[in-house]
Structures are given as C-alpha cells and as structure tokens.
Chains A and B, each alone.
Chain A
Amino acid sequence: MFSKSLFRQSCKANGTMWIIITVAVCFMLSCVMLISGRGDISETKDAIQNTIIEGELTSALQEKALNYYEIGNGAMEHFDDMFLKEYQTAYVNALTGGMPEERAAGAASMAAYAAAATELQETYVPGLIRELGYEADSQEAKEVQGVVFYVLNPMQEDGSYMFDDFFIEHGETVTHYTDLLASINDSLHSEERQKYVMNACAPFMAGNMVAEENIQSILDTLSDYGVTRAQYEEFGFSEYRNVKDIAMAAIVDYRANLEYRLDHLKEGETVESVKQDLRKDVTGSLLSSLPEEVSAALDEVGQMDMYGILVGSIFFKMAGLLLPIIYMIMTSNALIAGQVDSGSMAYILSTSTKRRTVTFTQAAYLIGSLLVMFLCTAITSIVCLSIVDVETGLTWQKLLLLNLGAFLVMFAMSGICFLTSCWFDRSKHAMGLGGGLSMFFLVATMLGLFGSPILPSIIRMDALNYFNYVSIITLFDPISILDGTTAFIWKFCILAVIGMVCYVIGSIRFRRKDLPL
C-alpha cells in the first residue's frame, strides 16, 4: 500500500516548494498577528463607529429639520385662514362701531392677529399633538409647541415680539410675520410664507440642538457607544452655524424637490404621498433616543472582535490560503498527472509498484505535507498570540480550530485537484480544471466577504453574499469558531467527506485507466 521510495522521491521533488511556501505563510501570519496586535485595530473600530454615528446624526438632523418645517408651514397656513376669517368680522364690526375706514383696517388687523394666535395656541396645536399621538406634556409635545410659536414669534401686547431675543442672540436677521400679513391676498404670499417658515425653524432647531441640556441628553445616549463630548464636538453638532446649515440645506432641497414633484404629479400620487416620500419619517423624536437601526449598527460594531475576524476570516479563510492553494495545485499535478504526461511514471510502475500504492503514497504525501504546513502555522499563530497584547476573544484552542479548519479546506480542495490529476493524462487539463476550481473558490470567497455578515451592515454589499454559496471555503466558518458555537463542526465534517470521496474516486480512476507511458 505504501512505497517508501516513492514517498522519498515525492519529498525530494516537491520539498523545496513546500519549504518556501510554508516559510512565506508563517511569515505573513506573524506579520498580520504582530502588527495588527499593536492597538491600531481598536482605532479602526472607533473610526468605523464614529463614521456611523456622524452619518446617522446628520441624517436624523435632516429629517428633524423637515419635520419642523412641515409642522411650521402647516401651522402658519392655518394661521392665515384664521386671520382672514377674523379680519372680515373684525373689520365689519369696527365700521359698524363708527370707526373711520383707515383706522378700522388697522384695528381689525390687530384683532384678527390676536384671535388667530389664540386659536392656534388653544385649539390647533393641542389638536396637532393629539393627532400625532403624543402625550400633552411629553418632550415631543413641547417640541411641536416650540416649533409653532418660534415660527409665529407672536407679537405681545406691548408691541414687542416674544422671541426676538433668541434670533438676535444667534445673529439672525429678525423678520416678523406681521409684515407678511399686509400682502396676505397676494398670489406670492404662500411662497413668502414658506421662506419665512424656513428662515425661522432652521435657527430654532439649531438653537435647540446646541442647548446644553439637549447636548447632554444626546451624549447620555451615545456614551454607551464610547462617544465622548470631545468627539461629539468634533462632529460639529454642538456648533450653531453648522447645525443650521445642515437644516437649511435639507429644507431647501426638500422644497425644490417637492415643488418639482407637485408640478409633475404622476398618476396615483397625491400631495400627501409625495410629501411622505420625501420625508421618510416626520414623526418621532430624536432627542430622546437614537433610531433603532443606528443603535443596532453601533451594537454590531461594538461587539466585533476585529482581531479575531482579521486572523480568522481574513487570514485563515482567504489571504493565508492563497499560497497553500498554489502549492497544492502544483504538487497535486506533479504527483500524478505531471508524471503520466511526461512519461516518468513508467519508471515507477515498471518496478512492480502497484497503481494503488502509487495513489496511496502520493495522496499521503499531499495530505501529509499540507498537514505539516498547517501545524507550522498553528505553532506560529499560538506563539504570536502569546506575544501580542490585544483585546480579543481568541484563545490558543480557537487558533488550533482555525488552523484545523484551514487544513480541512485545503484537504477538500486538494482532493478535487488530486481527482483531476488522476483523471486526466494531460497536466494542462488536470491543472485547468482542478486548479481553476480552487482559484475560483478562493476568489468567490474574497468577493463574498464584502457581502458576508461579518462586515458592519452599512459597508456591506448584500449582492456579493451570493458568492459565498458557490465556494466550498464557506464551509470553513471562523465566526462560529470565534463565537464558540458548534455550527462549524458539521461544516468541518462535510469538508472532510468531500476530500475523502475525491481522493477515493481519484485512486479508483487511476487504477482503471489506460496510461500513455
């Protein structure tokens, strides 16, 4: 069954390549483990987290700005209606009261303003809050109230305006809605009103966001994800001008889009559905909690064992396999098909070495050399792990399992290459099919990585995940090993079975075929 001479010959023929590849793989492995173990890895994690937080906060701010704008604009529209109605009554009343016409107009205007403002405060806003489903005294209800009244900026009895101080404090030019009421019957009034609302609610929102108690409440939420005040300030969300610019830009975009969409209404679209489209979610508040997806994404990143993933999924499942695969393709070919192709197999078979012995010995060499190769990487990886000081869930037992998995993947793929090597008389056919398949599996795994769940969802490309289903390397599951679950065990068994079946079929085929020697 086993020929020592043949084994020795195979060692001599392929030993040099084996040594070079093994040294190279171990070197790469120690580089990866030692260099990435110096702490840079957690910085990467933080950077990913910060990017997520910054992106999510910005989009939350934009949504909020649109939300404010819609609430403000709706309220002011209602205010206009009320004002016009009250003005008619007040004007007639004043004239009947014997007031001269020029004074009657002014008095009616004053009265209508007061009545409309009162109506807004007492009926419209509470109604809106109910409609949106908030409790009367909740944080959200206060926000709605705030938006409406900061936009209106009501005139007080003494002729001053309630929130002028706020706008002046933030360096804004103050415009008053009373100035717009003179032209209320003008065709351009609605356009003017929208601009007014925009110019009022963006500063309100910015002012609100940079208020100390709100910053504190956001930080409370984010502190779970390791965001400090300094980082938050770096994002720019505590700066009034910055927040206002974000809000303004969002509202301007929204208005332009809305106008365009309303001018080109498609069939089945209503004004409401278009608005709904443009603002994904206008209800809900952001100050009390982060949106669900954001916190989920942050949790995901927070739990990532970057070092384990780097060593397991990136090195042992991909980068570290490349060189062993090259060795395996070349050697599996050289062991059988190459010798049949060149004719040197004749010297072995003419010494009463049975074909069964040839395949058994060559398979033993191929499997053995791969096994020793991964023993070397296992030792290297365990030594490296004991040297580095890094926050990771990796242990030496898990490293052994990772090496075992990489070996089993190579075992299965070497089975395929051995099978093609036994099947074909020509090297090029054996290498083309067996080697081509192996490389395809590796490349598919590389592409599949970008769609696999180990990547945080925001940078994942789901379409690429399909590549994972066409590669047998997927049966090597480093995530399961790192998490300590048992899912990897049955996958290991499949790999072992694939390898064994291929080796057996290859041997049988080689025993039965004609050899051109």
Chain B
Amino acid sequence: MNKQNKIVNHIKSYAVTYLFIALSIFFIVVSGLDLNYVASQLLLRLNRNAFIVLALIIPIVAGMGINFSITIGAMAAQIGLLLTISWGVTGLPGILLAGAITLPLASLFGFLIGKLLNKMKGQETIGSLILGYFANGAYQLLFLFIFGTFIPLSDKVTIVGASGVQNTLNLTGSVGLYKALDGILQIPFSMIAYIIAGVVAVLSVVLFVRKKLTTQKLVLAIVGAALVVCVLQIPFVSGLFSGAGGRQMIRVPVVTWLLIACLCVFNTLIMRTRLGQKFRAVGQSQTVANAAGINVDKTRVIAIVISTVLAGWGQIVFMQSDGIGTFQTYAAHEQVGLYAGAAILVGGASIDRATNLQALVGTFLFHSLFITAQSAASNLFGDSAVGEYFRAFLSYGVIAIALVIYAWRGAKKTKTGGLDLTKVEKN
C-alpha cells in the first residue's frame, strides 16, 4: 500500500517529465534523423546549456520561483565578452578575463535584482521576467548609444561612421574565443563512459571498505558500472558514438564537462552549509525563517546574486561552445531565461523545488525535442515551419503548465476555495 502510494506520488509529480520522455522518443522516431546525429547534437547542447540551467536551482530552493532575470546575468557576460574582444585578448585568457569582468557586474546586477524582487514577494516569477525585459532596454541603450561614444572601444567591435556596437561579432579566427574551453581537451565519448564507470566502481569499493556504504548499494553501483561497459560493447550502441560508417565521431569537451560537474558539486555542497540551510528555511516559510532569526531579505538577495553570476558564466560557456561561433550582440541573451526555465521544469522541477539531476535531465529532454521538432513536424504535417512554432509552444506551454500545477496545489492546500486571504490587503 505504502509502496503503491509512493509510485503514484512519483508519477504525479513527474507527469510532465514522463510526458516529455514519451514525446522525445516519439519525435526521434518520427523525425527519421540519424541516431548518431541526434546523439551528437544532444551532447553538444547539453554541454552548452546545462550550466545556465543549473544556475536556476538556488533561487528555486530559496522560494523565489524561476529566476527569469538570469537574462541579466547573460547581459553582464556579454558586456564582458565585448570588452574582451575589443581589447583583443584571445583563447583561454580571454575567456577568463570575460569571466572576471562578469563577476563584479553580475554581482552588482544581482544585488539590485534581489532588492527589487524583495519588494514583490510572491510575484518573483513575473517580476523577474519583466525585469529582464526592462534590462533589455537598458542593454540596447548601452550597446547602441553609450559604447563607442562615451566608452571607447576598438574598431573591431564598433560600426565605423555610426554610433553603437556591430550587430554580429565573430568569435572564430583571430578573435580566438571559439571553443576556447571546449577545444582544450576532447576525448571520445566511450572513453569517458569507461572512465566514469571505473571511477564509480573504485569509489564505491573504497567507501564500502570504509563502511560508509551498504552492501546493497555497493552491488548496485558495481552492477551499474559493469552494465554501462557491457552496453557499450554492443555494436549498435558503440556505432552510435564512434565514427564507424561515415558517421561523426562523438567527442566530449572535458573541461566544459568538468565545469558543469563542479557546479553540480557546488550546488550540493552549498546546501549543506549554514547559508544553504538558510536558503531552504526561507524557501519553506519566510515567517518561520524570520522567527528563527534568519535575515530573510538578505538571504534572498544572496541567492539571486549567486544565480546571476552563475548565469553569466553559463552564458560565456554557451557563447564559446562548439557550433556557435558568432555573438549576436543585441539578441544573444533574449531567449536565455525562457529556454533554461522550460528545461528545468521539463526535468520535473517545480516552482519550489529543484535538484541537479532534474536540471540535467530536463536539459537533455528539452533539447532532444528541440533537435527533432522540425524534422518531425515536416514529416507529420509536411511543413517544417510548424516544427519551429511547436518548439516555441513547448517552451511557453511547459512553463504555463508548471505554474498552473503549482498554483493549483497551493489553492488546494489553503482550502479557502483558492482565495489567498493574505493577498487581500487593507488598501
């Protein structure tokens, strides 16, 4: 009975995820795309987008909903990138410089966002969305009229004979920022899989010997690792990743993956610190947190600052990654919040809880649909434009559904017919 309940609950809270898994499989089949192509695109996009999606977790835990103002973090990163290109710093130093510029800028912006969101508690999701739009105006002002006229930049990025920054900046060639992280060390996918399996097996044995792991879990870990190795021996599977038969050899950019892994570890570790406990306390109930002596407003500001800075770095990871190559100066940040928000919700996160795994799974599923939607729609309806629109619908729709489910649950909980009594103020 108890177990059955658990399963029902699990399916209930992950309904969106299972729906998307089904949709993904359906789309991959219908699209008729080569699996090798899908796999390579998926890995590429996972490595491009995971960092930004992971940046959303802390504000969710702190009870601030989906932080759509991560677009502002992306803007900070783009200012950093612009200056880096203008100063002509290339390669890894260039990326590091851009990251270094992003840090103070994004912290400042994050601080301001946090202050503002504290004035609209309960409306953070919409507030951060509109704040993103507002900041976009300021960003356009900065790039169109202030850069190049008041802040001197090199000819490489400005338009000669007019004010403002060029529409598109190239990151390849002499600019040297393209694949500055991705290109450092690239290892075939199967090799990475073997290494991870090996590490997991060795680590679990070590932990078992130190008596930090039960026998059951040890067996599970070793069997899992062995399974991965075995599956990779199947010619069909290994064919997917190796370059056999004129297909593309799938390689993994190790440095970027390490960065993503570090962020996952950071997200986990910070929850174990005092600050992390504060985040969770504030997220569960601001009144209780306040009574426990936690400075609620300050905690929320810190959460947003961290998220904004991480999103900025995520945008740098995105811009340098394989297959981008150009920097759309005025538009690169626009869809960042939408896609990241949709991705984390697809992974089963909700407005008030999220984990690393959900973020990664969500990115994976969301982008698998993204890759296949066009071909699938063109096969189903005879029109590839439908696929484009379907992608937009997915992004917005999944956010709408998540918001509705969350509000529905909240309304059921209060049992006042959904009327939130505290909302009715005296004015």
A, B: real partners? no
